[in-house]
Structure 1
């Protein structure tokens, strides 16, 4: 897969595998890859899509702590926009929208859309605003618009420069899967009707990526031909979906979700149905009002359930039942949590939050162990190889003339897949080192300006950035192998460290954790984009430009979105509980001479030990040789993070996601491959985007003084969205 001779100033020829639908041919075909993938129109539309995704992520993040890259949705929306332009403006002549431009578009959109999580706008910033004089020694830390912009600017770019040099190691040399980036490349290939990416990948990814080029296959195992035939049939169905049916599904689901969201704004009872009060009638109690058990028929959360899959939503609802149907009533009736159930400090919600925190820390730390071991052994092996090559091998002319900017490692001479990109399409290492230095100094200075001497010391911020650099290596590797970036564990590790480095300072503890998490999360998300670009031969340098532009734009978009929501709604409040903020603040309080609620320690130890052991089994299982019997029961082990999220979110959100997970399960059973069909994923994307976009409209109406048309039914159940729009 090496480049061949240039054919024009605007393009180069690369060898890519022929379409897997052609069962007779093993040869490779040549396809022109445009050099000018970094176009104004790709960046501009990417920013438009990114703004929508950013506001959507602020909305969902403040509600449930759930923030998505939405790379698939970005590629879909971008392609739909360019597909619609010739129909809306038939006289406007535009060049065909290329797959490489779509890669740049979704890269810009993802960088713009994920800033609410990277900058902690759905976690650490609300946590600082929830501080109290009695518990923390100082009042709430509320940043104005200028302070929030400076904070976002401080953490916006460091992760971008971290991601650039990691590409060569984890994508080119180790060929890690990065399932979301790989799936996005597959979707873009389907949209643009080009042969799917042909890089050989390992297990744990979608069916489209488990097939190898025929020339590289050995003897197929029993049943392989049947599975390949089924996968090939599903690929043809996917291609048909993205012609007519898929666009209709995206449009109708977007409209249905948007309409339901707007109707629920007018009639709040729709999103707070007190269905479970029937169970409380014999006891004369309202489960909705007292115990937060209502049902929210949100299509967006149904869509999220489809995307998450049935196993994840099952784990989430198991956590919901244990947390909200067992532990919450137990802590309330035994007097361990005497406050209102909805209170995150004295109520049952705050009590079970500690159990969730124990589960998340245990699973995050244990799941990092095999990654750390693997990374350490890889480094040692490479060090021994380099030492042997220096002792026994003469220096070649190519090695002697190699510069840092060439991204050339002498040990790559005998590797199967060396760097395929020419130097002019790569990010020079001189840029990376300069960028890390400048963004690091900028981050330290801006954090000092925002929080001052009572916040975090400059040296402590610098240590946080160094920690982010080290932990991002682990996070990126975990993301590449499992599609899960353990940023929550990375943030908690940083908090534990800073409880020692700067004790007694809750603000410093939260900020340090946020700095470390921001770098690791951003580097991981951008690495998914680079995987997509690698598979579709987009320029890494163009993607780097797009990431910088998207991150810079999102500084202002995210700030505006957060300030808009906090000025209109009570945060935390009935509609926006901000569960992530409670996790950050409570751990910081505990580490800085705080105390735990009554009788919660045994439950934390029990659940933490249980899910730590389960995480250990899952983490080290993937290192063992395949075993059909063992593999069958391992997949039934619930995810600890998903289980803990069931504690953090009120039952209404978990139940809606379970419905979506079941839909994914049923539609997957209807296929011969057992994978969720593309049409279901497209429809789910429409559900998520519909509510996210219309929520911006309802936010504007609320800020303008408009509210519910009728509060009918709200008195029965209370709570939920009803208490937000009606009294």
Structure 2
């Protein structure tokens, strides 16, 4: 089996040639510890008969033509104007890219016109470009902070004074704003490629699964083990896709379906402790190391099992008793502040400084309320936040870009205050941070995909830049079509309610009042857990690798504080399955575990495509499956009987 060379990456950074170190790295799956597996032939042994094209030859006209078409199509599906849910489209982009280019090349080959064969590296370029473009529909804030600036949302505000503070969407300034803020994250994370993927050996489950899928599409005939792995991937891919389709019928409302099945009881369900039957989470758990899965479960127990129930008992003391749990003045306030927690390096530094300068110069013209010193301070800390999000993404497959954006709302809003337009300043700052940390984590994940498909880091970076540029034009144009076509956009009870628009507006109105408006002891808890995380990480470094693998990861523990522990249960269940599999047949588990996990992730990921199409077409699930307590069921029967 091919082993990864211990050669320093400095050579690779100078030459950026995939035939050098990247060719020597194993492109297949990794073991639970993150080291290269030693069972069976590596993926690169399977592809040894195929040459690796130079990074320029990986960037083809047909790749970007297909990427543009897919970007337009997927932008409509990911605009977040209905439920606010933001599906991952990595798998869909990789699969659709393969389908279209393969069809293209087959036609050319039939007429003897094919000159350049379709490679897995080119497939990776398409996937990277499409995900970068469609990702702008999320980080661009069309369903959240950007629309929260509009007059339509401002008119729904409970604060009569803030109703006069708004900035309506307009195609020119939206495109200009996105071009100014969307590229900085790419340069912020480039120097961290080696640290994240080679040194830390972060998994990036979706990126790894997408790489397995792309490799399986292009696997040459004749490799016995590879054919079996592809078959296993296909089997679980089909199962996962059909399982997603089956679940859809029972999800007529947000709190319906198998995703709300009270597997641990109704009381546990109230605190988000349940197995949600997500094939994606099960697949992610099979790829992530055991310590990561255990860490997220411990974080879920600490937060939703202990802290939130205890804080709820302080209702009326630490925070007003008459506010809902989703209000930032109440329990939600403790959850959203809490997470505060190669390209040549000179090229990344010059790019970062240049784009920062352009942004600092131009943004105040678009948003006079956002001062140059606000933006300067944001960019001084932005690269650290980008690293934090990319690191957490690599551990658990969860991006917390919106959490960092919400932090900016409070910091800049309090700094600018209401009298100086703090609402618009804070929402614009939210966009700056959200775009930076989102693109940083997306690029790092794409580097992982490229690492496992031998796509050059340069081709991945260039395709990410081109895809981001596409998204800065395509996404505002698609949003503008909806905005002009639906005059009732954002109004309650209508088809496109943009649910997070009013939420972000409310946070901005609260943010201008300063951190004192948050519930009691909120910042104290935040600082306490910040110190605790630093101590735990320091202790992990001191004890060495032998014992560090038994100490939980604070970053992984933090994620359930924000999104709940249900996904952690899924991941731990899959860890248990894999553990038993390894005990009974380690060779098979090592050979087929990553393929099974990738199939589960990819099938469930692909289902988001037809699901989004059905939503856009106004086709809703016919059944709502809910679970009630016996007492509640009796009251419901009595009510219906009367």
Q: TM-score, length-normalised on structure 2?
A: 0.68
Which residue in 1 is equivalent to 2:178? 152
Counterpart pick for 2:128 among 84, 88, 107: 107
Alignment CA distance shift 1:428-1:294 (3 Å)? closer
Alignment CA distance shift 1:80-1:247 (3 Å)? farther
Distance 1:525 1:252 in 2: 27
Distance 1:590 1:114 in 2: 27
The 3-state SS of whatever aligns with 2:51 is strand
Asked if the contact 2:412/2:429 (under 8 Å) is kept, the reply is yes
Alignment CA distance shift 1:162-1:590 (3 Å)? closer
Distance 1:268 1:493 in 2: 26
Across the two proteins, how many residue pairs are aligned to each other?
Answer: 571
Asked if the contact 2:145/2:427 (under 8 Å) is kept, the reply is yes
Per the TM alignment, residue 550 of structure 1 is displaced from its structure 2 partner at its CA by: 1.0
Per the TM alignment, residue 352 of structure 1 is displaced from its structure 2 partner at its CA by: 1.4
Counterpart pick for 1:662 among 573, 588, 594: 573
Per the TM alignment, residue 37 of structure 1 is displaced from its structure 2 partner at its CA by: 0.9
Alignment CA distance shift 1:529-1:244 (3 Å)? same
Distance 1:516 1:275 in 2: 35
Which residue in 2 is equivalent to 1:553? 470
Which residue in 2 is equivalent to 1:698? 614
Alignment CA distance shift 1:591-1:360 (3 Å)? farther
Per the TM alignment, residue 619 of structure 1 is displaced from its structure 2 partner at its CA by: 2.0
Distance 1:585 1:522 in 2: 26
* RMSD of equivalent CA atoms: 5.6
The 3-state SS of whatever aligns with 2:331 is helix
Unaligned runs of 5+ in 2: 10-16, 27-37, 634-642
Distance 1:713 1:535 in 2: 42
Distance 1:12 1:646 in 2: 38
Distance 1:489 1:708 in 2: 30
Alignment CA distance shift 1:561-1:601 (3 Å)? farther
Alignment CA distance shift 1:473-1:602 (3 Å)? closer
Distance 1:595 1:314 in 2: 32
Distance 1:662 1:510 in 2: 39
Asked if the contact 1:18/1:29 (under 8 Å) is kept, the reply is no
1:124 aligned to 2:145? yes
Alignment CA distance shift 1:609-1:133 (3 Å)? same
Alignment CA distance shift 1:526-1:440 (3 Å)? farther
Asked if the contact 2:208/2:449 (under 8 Å) is kept, the reply is yes
Per the TM alignment, residue 435 of structure 1 is displaced from its structure 2 partner at its CA by: 8.6
Alignment CA distance shift 1:297-1:707 (3 Å)? farther
Counterpart pick for 2:524 among 596, 599, 605: 605
Alignment CA distance shift 1:236-1:30 (3 Å)? closer
User: What does residue range 506-525 of structure 1 map to in structure 2 within 5 Å?
Assistant: 506-525=423-442
Per the TM alignment, residue 252 of structure 1 is displaced from its structure 2 partner at its CA by: 4.1
Counterpart pick for 2:320 among 308, 331, 336: 336
Distance 1:242 1:576 in 2: 44
Unaligned runs of 5+ in 1: 4-10, 196-234, 281-286, 365-418, 420-425, 648-653, 719-727
User: What does residue range 558-577 of structure 1 map to in structure 2 within 5 Å?
Assistant: 558-559=475-476, 564=482
Which residue in 2 is equivalent to 1:303? 280
The 3-state SS of whatever aligns with 1:624 is helix
**Bigger mean CA offset, 494-503 vs 242-251:** 494-503
Per the TM alignment, residue 271 of structure 1 is displaced from its structure 2 partner at its CA by: 3.6
Distance 1:435 1:334 in 2: 42
The 3-state SS of whatever aligns with 1:144 is coil
Q: TM-score, length-normalised on structure 1?
A: 0.61
Asked if the contact 1:306/1:681 (under 8 Å) is kept, the reply is yes
Which residue in 1 is equivalent to 2:539? 621
Alignment CA distance shift 1:323-1:31 (3 Å)? same
Counterpart pick for 2:238 among 226, 235, 251: 251
Counterpart pick for 1:179 among 189, 200, 203: 203
Which residue in 1 is equivalent to 2:517? 596
Which residue in 1 is equivalent to 2:53? 34
